[in-house]
Chains A and B, each alone.
Chain A
Amino acid sequence: MLASHPASRIRHLISVSAAPTSARRFVPSLIQDTILRCTLSNSHAEEINMSYLEQLYSLDGKVAVITGAAGGLAAP
């Protein structure tokens, strides 16, 4: 049945989560077996998550202005 289902044409679907149940939650039930056969090492998963977080919290390209930045009061 899996072989005849359109979903089986998906070659790579990576669902990453610390909790396996969360990773599977949004995967259609018909292709779950296929997905679960996809090997994803822990280190690979961490790399993907770190990349996402680093991007989310990154201030690259931003210009910041901060007053009182040298320990002074910024006024006499």
Chain B
Amino acid sequence: MTEALLRAGATTVLVDVDQQPLDEARAKYHKEGLDAHSFACDLTNSTRLDALVDYVESTHGRADVLVNCTGVTTQHDSHDYPDELWSATLSLNLEAPFQLSKRIARLMIAQGGGSMIHITSINAEQRFAFNPAYQASKGGLRSLSKSLANDLGPHGIRSNTVGPGYFETSMHAGRLNDPERVKARAARTMLGRIGQPAELAGIVVLLASDAAAYITGQEIYVDGGWHGGSSVYNVSCAVQLTYDNVRLPCPDVSHK
């Protein structure tokens, strides 16, 4: 996603917690003539968030695009999910995007608009085992995006979510070492495979650009069809149950 923003022409500020990987990434992009900058920041620290926004404003003068792409996931049984994991997950996955969005929104309001893109997950919509904090945080981020879209729309600021399915990323590195698990998850998609990180590039550039000038408050899933297939199934079940409850014959909705 970072590379996509850069190659589409954006001056891009890379944010991460450690300086060294930021320096390496920035150097790599600079070699290709791309306009990359970096700022090391613990997003759960409000003082550092203020410093980040001050840096963006003083160095670049504006912020047209914000991509909230941080996330942590830790599985554990729900009935004894550790409080510290719950707090850490919600803090980074939900609290931090809100706090940064709030601060960046002030810049966007002053300049007359902008685009916020929040990276959620198929977990924002669907149940997954033993991951209550991650699921709650991504579902919360999904709702937060709609709230921001509603409140900031009059200022010309758009807010949308991108919900990835399973991708070959560092977050899923452990799971990707299990071929059977990968095969099972690929089989859940309509395309029959997990995603490659580059396949998130197009949607991010679209939402960041003027091509999406009238798109806001939306949730777009980039999951090879995982989420879409289940949604159709759920709608059909809901129709069936509704009619069963009032003892009416269920109509044939298969053609719809």
Interface residues of A (CB under 8 A from B): 56-76
List chain B residues, Cβ under 8 A from A61. 9
Interface-forming stretch among B143-151, B157-165, B204-212, B242-250?
B204-212
Contact B18 A64 (CB under 8 A): no
Closest residue of chain A to B60 (Cβ to Cβ) is A63
Query: Which of B41-49, B188-196, B221-229, B230-238 lines the interface with chain A?
Result: B41-49
How far does the alpha carbon of A64 sit from the alpha carbon of B71 in the complex, in Å? 19
Q: Which of A58, A68, A72, A76 contacts B8 (CB 8 A)?
A: A58
Distance (Å) between the CB of A58 and the closest chain B CB? 5
A-facing residues in B1-59 (Cβ within 8 Å): 1-2, 5, 8-18, 21-22, 24-25, 38, 41-44, 52, 56
- For B23, the closest partner residue in chain A by CB is A70
With A63-B62, A65-B63, A67-B67 as given contacts, are A73 and B211 in contact (CB-CB < 8 Å)?
no
How far apart are the CA atoms of A68 and B170 in the complex, in Å? 11
How far apart are the CA atoms of A70 and B2 in the complex, in Å?
9
Asked if residues B70 and A68 are in contact (CB atoms below 8 Å), the reply is yes
Cβ of B141 < 8 Å from any Cβ of A? no
B119-158 contacts to A (CB < 8 Å) = 119
Q: A64-B11, A75-B17, A75-B42 are in contact. Are A69 and B170 (CB under 8 A)?
A: no
Q: Which residues of B contact A67 (CB under 8 A)?
A: 15-16, 41, 43, 67-70, 96-97, 100
The answer on a CB contact under 8 Å between A66 and B67 is yes
Decide if A66 touches B64 in the complex (CB within 8 Å).
Answer: no
A64 — which chain B residues lie within 8 A by C-beta? 5, 10-13, 63-67, 208
Contacts of B65 in A (CB 8 A): 59, 62-66
The 8 A-B pairs at the shortest CB distance, nearest first, are namely A69-B14, A59-B10, A60-B9, A64-B65, A70-B21, A62-B64, A70-B16, A66-B67
Contact partners of B68 in chain A: CB under 8 A: 67
Report the Cα distance A63→B43, complex, angstroms: 19
> What would 19 A/B residue contacts be, using CB atoms closer than 8 Å?
A57-B206, A59-B5, A60-B9, A61-B9, A62-B10, A62-B208, A63-B12, A65-B67, A66-B65, A67-B68, A67-B97, A68-B119, A70-B14, A70-B25, A71-B21, A73-B92, A74-B15, A75-B44, A76-B17
